[in-house]
Amino acid sequence: MKQTVFVGGLAALLFAASLARAADPLDAITAAAQADKSFSGFSAARGETLFRTKGKDWSCSTCHTADPRNPGRHTVTGKAIQPMAPVSNPKRLTDPAKVEKWFKRNCGDVFDRECTAREKGDVITWLRSLAR
């Protein structure tokens, strides 16, 4: 019987983990943005502006191209980068852990700081709004 309970508990944990992986990255970002009482929603226009804004040396569009529906190339390493827009790359912006990892790294590289929840949500909203 203990083995059955353990297996059932393990199944519940695996199910919960699969739900966490399936969660929309924008859900957690929205919750974080709502901590600011002045938050009134994300803006695709602000997201596009941030994407094109030059930080210390470059902007997001430097590596991800002016049209994120196209593949890019890392300016320093030359490594190919798959399109950022989900319309061109359906795997983009689906894994909350990857989204957080890349925002942290890229905002640090471009702006020399972490992006706010509102900025992340704005960029995701804009990238998701792009059509073919």
* CATH class of segment(s) 24-129: mainly alpha
Close Cβ partners of 82 (under 8 Å, ≥ 6 residues apart):
71, 89, 91, 92
Question: What are the beta bridge partners of residue 80?
Answer: 73
Q: What is the pLDDT of residue 22?
A: 54
Cα-based angle 26, 97, 118 (whole degrees, multiple of 5): 35
Q: What is the pLDDT of residue 132?
A: 83
Mean pLDDT by 10-residue block, N- to C-terminus, for the chain (132 residues)?
50 48 86 94 98 95 96 95 96 95 95 97 98 88
Q: What is the pLDDT of residue 4?
A: 45
Q: What is the pLDDT of residue 95?
A: 95
Q: How far is CA 48 from CA 13, 66, 77, 121, in A?
A: 39, 10, 25, 11
Q: What is the pLDDT of residue 113?
A: 96
